[in-house]
Chains A and B, each alone.
Chain A
């Protein structure tokens, strides 16, 4: 027996290739969509990985520092460092903002890191060019995705920073590239008030008789100093000593310092379960719609291809072809269309993924699931065509 489906496809190959390509682009979009979700999850994971922390100490009862804002005094890290099981503790600030780059600006997450050396939590673990920050002010290490080069100058709020090092895939949970600057500068950038506001506050404070006492001349200056100085950070990153479990170390900090402490698993849960949950549902919705549209297209194409062959099907039935043979011909064609579509889609997604501004991560399991989903969709959508083909009356072949 010859393959009727195969012969028909060879005969009408143009039709199959073109519809296959059309379907393939749709499948490519679907795979890319899944890749966008995977990329978001991965962004969250590399954010946690790159922070180099085992524990995140944040303001009590907040989901900080990535999912909610958190501020804690910048001197807490000293006492945290002395807690049992703590190897390193470092202040860190995070602020997502527009960073000036020449005439333009890029959206970036500005990370304030403490003075120290590579390996301190919060520091970029490895650079692809240049060096780490060595001075206490006005130096920056930027992710390549910001588009800057070594020696470029970035402006953050009122200050300018020379790019001394470049990092790779250092991104925030929303995929914005990171710019590392010294902690003091970052605190200023985050909490600094503009000059007018400072003057206004000074005037207000000065007008307050409680602070402006004629007998105590230094009081006003001290109060003003404490108001303008910025002594907060967003979190303290903690690395624990070998031999300690995160729980063992976290519990005393929680209890004694009245702070909230998250370990790696909890942080992942916050990032993936809460921060990107809505986006994930959004993408899920898109995937459902794309699957439905693909199904409708396959069904429509297979239906029309079968419609075009009604007369041949009547003849095939008249000369004694089994229903099973006819049904399998239609299913096979549908599957071939699906396979062409999948191959085209996979190629499209692979080539398109790097072009996206945010990270698109194509994982093999998604392709495998996608492949079987496409086949399932093809089989299901050929059912309508099969029903119609089986209803064809062989008598139609005779006048």
Chain B
């Protein structure tokens, strides 16, 4: 194949069977190269979350093919064995609500991922510290999630998504709880990270403010996607 980044071909997802079956994704095609940030937009119920879950190897597609760099993850019903390790090592998640672990401080929330992969605590914390610094929250490194502002939590969550240097980051409405200034800051960080770490980033959003910043946008409606060039405006 030789294509880097994440790529899906004719991916379909059906929920249920028989009369009540829902075809949430219909032959979706998508490709995101390393260093690229693309938008995924569509009305409610159109299949955005479903697509993100398939991309994140959280649910299995019914048919179609998905590759990450040179690894085939799904191929018409076949799938790689250890999806859990794949998620841990190669996919970063950033959610609408930051979903930080409430009993771990900011550093350990980020360091937990490398720790889970067997990286020694000190090294994991060092990596976490670096990222928190890059995201400008190092001064809150020892704060518990409940003590952080919404924007700080979101940045810690982004750091967590990035810490294992995954080739792909999936962000589900990462700016929804933020004001426009903070939302732009998050997009700026994502663009920055994509460039710095050669990461392919897919951002699901409803947020009118940030849509003009994408160079490429996938529209999805009733489980069908079509691609469109975005304005690619600088997030300021």
Contacts and interface: CB of A to CB of B under 8 A. Distances in A.
Contacts of A397: 58, 93, 95, 99
B121 A319 contact: no
B56 interface: yes
A287 interface: no
A300 to B, nearest CB: 21
B152 interface: no
B115 A316 contact: no
Nearest to B160: A319
Given A10-B103, A321-B116, A399 B84 contact: no
Given A2-B115, A8-B103, A320-B85, A395 B53 contact: yes
A120 B102 CA distance: 74
B59 A319 contact: no
B95 A398 contact: yes
B52 interface: yes
B147 to A, nearest CB: 12
Given A1-B116, A394-B58, A398-B53, A319 B88 contact: yes
Contacts of B160: 319
A316 B101 contact: yes
Contacts of B103: 4, 7-8, 10-12
Interface in B65-112: 84-89, 93, 95-96, 99, 101-104, 108, 112
Contacts of B88: 319-321
Nearest to A1: B115
B173 interface: yes
A7 B101 CA distance: 10
A1 B53 contact: no
A315 interface: yes
A317 to B, nearest CB: 8
A54 to B, nearest CB: 66
B115 A318 contact: no
A322 interface: yes
A317 B102 CA distance: 15
A399 B172 contact: yes
Interface string B162-201: 0000000000110000000000000000000000000000
Contacts of A247: none
Nearest to A323: B84
A1 B52 contact: no
Chain A interface SS verdict (over half):
helix
Nearest to A5: B103
B144 interface: yes
Interface string A385-399: 000000000110111
A302 to B, nearest CB: 16
B138 interface: no
A160 interface: no
Nearest to B111: A2
Interface string A325-337: 1000000000000
B191 to A, nearest CB: 22
B113 interface: yes
A11 B85 CA distance: 28
A135 B86 CA distance: 95
A199 B162 CA distance: 107
B18 to A, nearest CB: 22
B163 to A, nearest CB: 10
A366 interface: no
Contacts of B101: 4, 312, 315-316
A107 interface: no
Nearest to B118: A1
A311 interface: yes
28 contacts: A1-B116, A1-B118, A2-B104, A2-B112, A2-B115, A2-B121, A4-B101, A7-B108, A8-B103, A10-B103, A315-B99, A318-B56, A318-B58, A319-B93, A320-B84, A320-B86, A320-B87, A320-B89, A320-B113, A320-B116, A325-B116, A395-B53, A397-B58, A398-B49, A398-B172, A399-B49, A399-B95, A399-B96
Interface of A: 1-2, 4, 7-8, 10-12, 311-312, 315-322, 325, 394-395, 397-399
Interface of B: 49, 52-53, 56, 58-59, 84-89, 93, 95-96, 99, 101-104, 108, 112-113, 115-118, 121, 144, 160, 172-173
